[in-house]
Copies of this chain bind each other. A is one copy, B any other.
Amino acid sequence: MKAYASMSREELLAEQEKLQAEYKGYEEAGLQLNMARGKPEPAQLDLAKDMLSIVDADTICKSETGDDCRNYGVMEGIIEARKLMAEIMEVKPEQVVVFGNASLNIMYDTVARSMLHGVNGSTPWCKLDKVKFLCPVPGYDRHFAVTESFGIEMVNVPLLEDGPDMDLVEKLVSEDASIKGIWCIPKYSNPTGVSYSDETVRRFANLKPAAEDFRIYWDNAYCVHHLYEEADKQDQILNILDECEKAGNPDMAYMFASTSKITFAGAGISAMASSADNMAWVKKTMTVQTIGHDKVNQLRHVKFLKDRAGVDAHMMKHAAILRPKFELVEKMFETEIAPLGIGSWIAPRGGYFISFESLEGCAKNIVAKAKAAGVVLTGAGAPFPYGKDPKDSVIRLAPSFPNLEELETATKIFICCVKLASIEKLLA
């Protein structure tokens, strides 16, 4: 195969004609495939089905502290659930509060709390003229939707292979007191799959922000979500809370996680962890906001997953389903895309996404073409604040939901669309 860039106009036109015929076939097939969302496939959900039987009518629903999980009380979550989430998040149980189904809800509420009540006693952000967040890009669209909904100005920071561009982060955070936060997915990042190096984590912990109410929003969404069992194929990151404490910045980071992609995306538990002062501030609002979250579901999770070893073993079952999907897509890209020089990607060792980078100015076109041919992708631009990808080149692929056969078809169609869009770009 010859790289498109080195093809003559005639060669490109011939290639285009061939691809258009292939594409027409897909259009006519009227397929309905979806690679838009990091959604577990049914077989993954089945892995946790025994959790639904583990608490039944005969279960004594008492927590370790003797509290009836079925009744009011224990707002911060039962202690055994806090321990479990602490093991998953690699923090101390007393740093953890357990919440309901979605960690997104905790993140939204954390920003909302800062807007309305301030951060540990600081001026509520809604009283300030300007509030900004740093957004490593490409990143997670729902993070950006949260900050956008509050009118918080989002500032792009490039996400490199070992984490955000820390030179830029350090400079901006130390100079601008209106910068109050940064969104981070430190492990198997959504969408690029990179994990932060130890140096990156330490530089985060040692930030000297101009704003005393600056916080690092550390969304540890994929903390135990490895694709490989071998230790040397698993990314490990430093603990940001420990590093912040060592650096004399104990209150600088909030950590979030959930079991959405461990047990059930539609019936999991989530958690937040931070310093004693930060968690006291959270609980102060929480006492007013809620009676507490579902403690029977917390008990269910503890009985089913037991501890970190139980979680790790369970995650390897997920990996067995997910790994072939990632490898399939990567192999097809290597064969079909790499030689043509029309795109790049990182082969992630965990998480839920493959981030594809096309030639500049092609992403929207590829997504539109794929849609017309029956493959729904995450919208082009979604991994950027305000949906604006400055190069129009990043596409987030989620290989988890389709089965292997569907995935192969969807990827074939995607590749065809990448080729077509690249040729259009080169011919223009």
User: Given the complex, which residues of B lie within 8 Å of A69, measured CB to CB?
Assistant: 266-267
CA distance A339 to B73 in the complex (A): 38
Task: Given A116-B126, A266-B295, verify A288-B149 contact (CB < 8 Å).
Answer: yes
Task: Given A45-B68, A101-B100, verify A145-B288 contact (CB < 8 Å).
Answer: yes
Q: How many residues of A contact B (CB 8 A)?
A: 60
CA distance A112 to B49 in the complex (A): 36
B71 near A39 with CB under 8 A, answer: yes
A72 near B37 with CB under 8 A, answer: yes
B56, B58, B101, B294: the one within 8 Å of A266 (CB): B294
Q: Does A232 contact B (CB under 8 A)?
A: no
B-contacting residues, A127-150, CB 8 Å:
127, 142, 145-146, 149-150
Q: Does A53 contact B (CB under 8 A)?
A: yes
User: Given the complex, which residues of B lie within 8 Å of A293, measured CB to CB?
Assistant: 100-102
User: Given the complex, which residues of B lie within 8 Å of A296, measured CB to CB?
Assistant: 52, 264, 266-267
B-contacting residues, A92-121, CB 8 Å:
100-102, 104-105, 108-109, 112, 115-117
Task: Given A104-B290, A108-B289, verify A56-B53 contact (CB < 8 Å).
Answer: yes
Q: Among the interface residues A50, A61, A100, A289, which one has the most CB atoms of the partner chain B within 10 A? A: A289
Q: How far is the CB of A220 from chain B (nearest CB, A)?
A: 16
B56, B145, B267: the one within 8 Å of A294 (CB): B267
B126 near A72 with CB under 8 A, answer: no
How many copies the complex holds: the figure is 2
B73, B104, B267: the one within 8 Å of A295 (CB): B267
Q: Among the interface residues A49, A56, A266, which one has the most CB atoms of the partner chain B within 10 A? A: A266
User: Given the complex, which residues of B lie within 8 Å of A150, measured CB to CB?
Assistant: 116
Task: Given A116-B126, A289-B105, A296-B266, verify A57-B52 contact (CB < 8 Å).
Answer: yes
**Additional A-B contact list (17), CB under 8 Å, known A56-B56, A71-B264, A109-B289:** A39-B72, A45-B71, A50-B57, A52-B296, A68-B266, A69-B267, A72-B266, A73-B266, A101-B294, A115-B126, A116-B126, A146-B288, A265-B291, A266-B294, A266-B296, A267-B294, A268-B294
CB within 8 Å of B: which residues of A? 37, 39-40, 42, 45, 48-50, 52-53, 55-59, 61, 68-74, 100-102, 104-105, 108-109, 112, 115-117, 124, 126-127, 142, 145-146, 149-150, 260, 264-268, 285, 287-297
A-B contact pairs, 22 of them (CB 8 A): A40-B71, A42-B68, A45-B70, A56-B56, A68-B266, A100-B101, A100-B293, A102-B292, A104-B290, A104-B291, A105-B291, A108-B290, A112-B116, A115-B116, A116-B150, A142-B288, A145-B288, A149-B285, A149-B288, A265-B291, A268-B294, A294-B294
